[in-house]
């Protein structure tokens, strides 16, 4: 069975040494009394829950999967899942970053994200059940009526109830403007909702007393397309005025999807046959309200791959140290053994360092974004809140797509380290690969994220937000201009910043003549910006490490960090040259292909 050591030392480095999280959070009235010891203590206990409770269930969930009773439409989760969820709720973990007004602990969002990285590393399928509840909570907290908040938020906060998002239908995936689910007004102001939804994660299960479904549907007079979508809250069990559960609502699981991975999570086909729901937000404005949950989910999916990258790396590294095979090309290293550990081989090191660099770089990026969300929610200065929200909007598609692409590459590389053993179930590596693959698809495919970044977030405002991030890069470059030790990290970063500015201008001009140029360039463009962002954080991490070593520290952690930074810039960052060449190749080689695709 795989092992997992919560990466607390690197989390502490990222939170406290790189980002100065406590000083940033103390500027927010909601977190004015927060201290470093509190953050560290919570993470330590969270790591224990992840490694001791969830990790042993990961392989169990993969083997057993979920089971649907076709007569009752009830779903049974794998052995141990329900008990683990009860322990999660009893420990107060569900309420960690929720509003104290609804029973939450009011701790920072960034702390919850670090905790969830560890949950995802140890059991992504299980973590999806409470993870989706956070999105439902955020959506209702932002757009729910006072009555909806009173009914649902305290239950979602405590974890007594869980939540889902019901968007996709059999005939439409990303193109939600095509959805057909109908909502008919009822005399009491509620709605009877009928239709079919598919791919609904955690849509039915036995872990909580009630499931709060957020459902997109159309009112009878709704305009066509995405402008005619409304959002409704539809509970599995109707809720009585006193808050107790009433009769079963007319929404049920009609089937479970048989999936490549995340077997422990119930991915459901949900049937609504006049299910009673109430309107969330304004009529025909449901997509905007649902985006609160969708964007939270996109950040959560990036976090899933971050967790899988870390756990895959840890297990591959341990295996590479223990497995002996062949001799080093430069001469025997373990002369007392019949062969050397495979860790001596350059390509094994390349695969391991790829996963390590993507895990640590992704953690720095994800933590930065989570701190921006804390500022967006709680900073007393309205301008800071707006600036933070704008930067979160830019970074969200990058976190979702760049980190999940990297996670799939990393888990594949770590499986390869195991050789044939990686293909065998008992080692757990092939499960990480299968689980990681879904993260490139759901909550908006990575191509959709790329189109969002280039089309909306960059060209949509003439690159204004990207230039704001560019100012961070420029400030770091200027600060380190005369520091010879920083040159290996700063020179490539500065060059890419200049090249990206020119390339973006070129793309904008070409897109005005041919919109297909955006579609042809988008995926590579997101990856290019992803490297700019990750290189910025790797350069900053190298800067912190160099300063700490110069101050007299002999902690090997900092040499470790510098060697990983050197690897990232030498071996992974050069991908940017190929990306720029492909982007400049344009759309002709893709679109002028009638004969090739006949």
pLDDT tens per residue across span 448-472: 999 999 999 999 999 999 999 999 9
Phi/psi at 21 (5° precision)? -60, -40
Mean of per-residue pLDDT scores for the chain: 97
DSSP run (H or E) holding 43: helix 36-48
Cβ neighbours, 10 Å, residue 575: 14
88 with 45: CB under 8 angstroms?
no
| For range 79-95, the mean pLDDT | 98
148 with 285: CB under 8 angstroms?
no
Q: Taking Cα atoms as reference points, which of 139, 169, 174, 178 lies closest to residue 156?
A: 139
- Torsion over CA: 495, 496, 500, 501 (sign): negative
Which pairs with CB-CB distance under 8 Å and at least 24 residues apart come from 554-561?
557/9, 557/13, 561/13, 561/360
- Count CA atoms within 13 Å of residue 369 on its CB side: 29
300 with 116: CB under 8 angstroms?
yes
The predicted model scores a pTM of 0.98
pLDDT at 266 over 90: yes
Label residue 25 left, alpha or beta by phi (over 0 means left) and psi (-120 to 50 means alpha): alpha
- Count CA atoms within 13 Å of residue 163 on its CB side: 28
Helix axes 55-64, 429-437, angle to 10 degrees: 70
**Residue 183 and residue 279: Cα distance in Å, rounded?**
9
| For range 236-250, the mean pLDDT | 95
Q: What is the CA radius of gyration of the chain?
A: 24
pLDDT band at 175 (very low <50, low <70, confident <90, very high): confident
| For range 297-318, the mean pLDDT | 97
Question: What pLDDT sits at residue 34?
Answer: 97
pLDDT band at 422 (very low <50, low <70, confident <90, very high): very high
**Residue 170 and residue 338: Cα distance in Å, rounded?**
57
Cβ neighbours, 10 Å, residue 238: 16
Question: What pLDDT sits at residue 62?
Answer: 98
Q: Is 400 exposed, middle or buried (0-12, 13-18, 19+ CB in 10 A)?
A: buried
Q: What percent of the chain has pLDDT over 90?
A: 96
Question: What pLDDT sits at residue 290?
Answer: 83
Question: What pLDDT sits at residue 173?
Answer: 80
Q: Taking Cα atoms as reference points, which of 57, 119, 94 lies closest to residue 304?
A: 119
Q: Is 547 exposed, middle or buried (0-12, 13-18, 19+ CB in 10 A)?
A: middle
Q: Is 417 exposed, middle or buried (0-12, 13-18, 19+ CB in 10 A)?
A: buried
- Torsion over CA: 580, 584, 587, 589 (sign): negative
- Here the tokens at position 30 are 């909601």
Question: What pLDDT sits at residue 289?
Answer: 84
DSSP run (H or E) holding 463: none
**Residue 200 and residue 269: Cα distance in Å, rounded?**
6
Question: What pLDDT sits at residue 293?
Answer: 81
pLDDT at 306 over 80: yes
Q: Taking Cα atoms as reference points, which of 327, 380, 316, 386 lies closest to residue 351?
A: 316
| For range 397-406, the mean pLDDT | 98
| For range 354-358, the mean pLDDT | 98
Cβ neighbours, 10 Å, residue 14: 24
| For range 379-386, the mean pLDDT | 97
The residues assigned a catalytic role are 443
Question: What pLDDT sits at residue 315?
Answer: 98
Q: Which of 149-158, 281-290, 525-534 has the lowest mean pLDDT?
A: 281-290
Cβ neighbours, 10 Å, residue 588: 12
DSSP E strand stretches across 302-419: none
Q: Which residues sit opposite 164 in a β-bridge?
A: 213
Please tell me whether residue 84 adopts helix, strand or coil conformation.
helix
Question: What pLDDT sits at residue 288?
Answer: 86
**Residue 52 and residue 47: Cα distance in Å, rounded?**
8
> To which residue do tokens 């040499």 refer?
559
Q: Which residues sit opposite 214 in a β-bridge?
A: 165, 233
Helix axes 429-437, 286-322, angle to 10 degrees: 160
Angle at 261 between CA 217 and CA 402, to 5 degrees: 75
Question: What pLDDT sits at residue 294?
Answer: 85
The more confidently predicted of residues 226 and 349 is 349
As a dihedral over the C-alpha atoms of residue 171, residue 175, residue 181, residue 183, rounded to 10 degrees, the angle is -170
Q: Encode burial over 502-521: b for 16+ CB neighbours within 10 A, e otherwise.
A: ebbeebbebbeeeeebbbbb
Question: What pLDDT sits at residue 521?
Answer: 98
| C-alpha distance across the termini of the chain, in Å | 48
pLDDT band at 1 (very low <50, low <70, confident <90, very high): confident
Question: What pLDDT sits at residue 176?
Answer: 82
């Amino acid at each position: 069975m795989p092992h997992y050591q919560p990466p607390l030392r690197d989390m502490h480095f990222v939170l406290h040494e790189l980002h100065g999280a406590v000083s940033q959070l103390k500027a927010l009235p909601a977190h004015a009394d927060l201290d470093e010891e509190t953050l560290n203590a919570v993470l330590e206990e969270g790591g224990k829950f992840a490694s001791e409770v969830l990790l042993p269930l990961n392989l169990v969930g993969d083997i057993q999967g979920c089971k649907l009773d076709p007569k009752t439409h009830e779903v049974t989760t794998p052995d141990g899942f329900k008990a683990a969820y009860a322990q999660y709720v009893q420990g107060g973990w569900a309420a960690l970053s929720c509003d104290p007004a609804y029973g939450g602990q009011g701790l920072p969002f960034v702390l919850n994200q670090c905790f969830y990285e560890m949950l995802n590393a140890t059991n992504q399928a299980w973590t999806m059940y409470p993870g989706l509840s956070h999105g439902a909570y955020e959506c209702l907290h932002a757009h729910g009526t006072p009555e909806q908040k009173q009914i649902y938020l305290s239950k979602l906060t405590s974890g007594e109830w869980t939540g889902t998002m019901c968007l996709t239908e059999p005939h439409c995936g990303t193109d939600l403007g095509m959805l057909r689910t109908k909502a008919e007004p009822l005399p009491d102001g509620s709605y009877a909702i009928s239709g079919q939804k598919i791919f609904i994660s955690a849509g039915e299960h036995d872990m909580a007393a009630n499931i709060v479904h957020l459902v997109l549907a159309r009112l009878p007079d709704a305009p066509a397309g995405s402008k005619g979508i409304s959002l409704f809250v539809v509970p599995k069990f109707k809720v009585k005025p006193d808050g107790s559960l009433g009769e079963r609502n007319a929404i049920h699981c009609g089937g479970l999807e048989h999936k490549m991975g995340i077997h422990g999570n119930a991915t459901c086909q949900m049937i609504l046959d006049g299910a009673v729901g109430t309107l969330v937000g304004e009529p025909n404005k449901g997509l905007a309200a649902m985006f609160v949950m969708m964007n939270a989910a996109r950040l959560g999916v990036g976090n899933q791959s971050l967790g899988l990258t870390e756990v895959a790396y840890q297990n591959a590294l341990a295996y590479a140290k223990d497995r002996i095979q062949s001799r080093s090309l430069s001469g025997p290293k373990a002369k007392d053994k019949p062969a050397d550990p495979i860790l001596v081989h350059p390509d094994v090191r390349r695969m391991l360092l790829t996963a390590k660099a993507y895990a640590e770089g992704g953690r720095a990026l994800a933590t930065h974004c989570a701190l921006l969300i804390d500022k967006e929610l709680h900073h007393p200065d309205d301008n800071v809140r707006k600036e933070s929200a704008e930067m979160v909007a830019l970074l969200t598609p990058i976190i979702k797509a760049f980190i999940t692409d990297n996670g799939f590459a990393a888990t594949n590389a770590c499986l390869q380290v195991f050789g044939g053993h990686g293909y065998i179930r008992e080692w757990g590596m092939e499960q990480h690969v299968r689980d990681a693959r879904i993260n490139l698809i759901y909550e908006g495919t990575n191509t959709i994220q790329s189109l969002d970044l280039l089309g909306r977030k960059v060209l949509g405002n003439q690159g204004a937000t990207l230039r704001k991030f560019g100012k961070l890069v420029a400030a770091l470059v200027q600060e380190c201009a005369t520091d010879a030790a920083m040159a290996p990290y700063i020179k490539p970063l500065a060059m890419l910043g200049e090249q990206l500015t020119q390339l973006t201008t070129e793309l904008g001009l070409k897109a005005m003549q041919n919109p297909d140029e955006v579609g042809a360039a988008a995926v590579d463009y997101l990856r290019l910006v992803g490297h700019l962002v990750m290189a910025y954080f790797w350069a900053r991490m190298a800067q912190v490490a160099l300063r700490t070593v110069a101050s007299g520290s002999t902690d090997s952690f900092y040499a470790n960090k510098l060697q990983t930074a050197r690897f990232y810039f030498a071996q992974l960052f050069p991908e940017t040259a190929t990306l720029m060449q492909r982007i400049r190749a344009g759309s002709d080689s893709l679109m002028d292909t009638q004969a090739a695709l006949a």
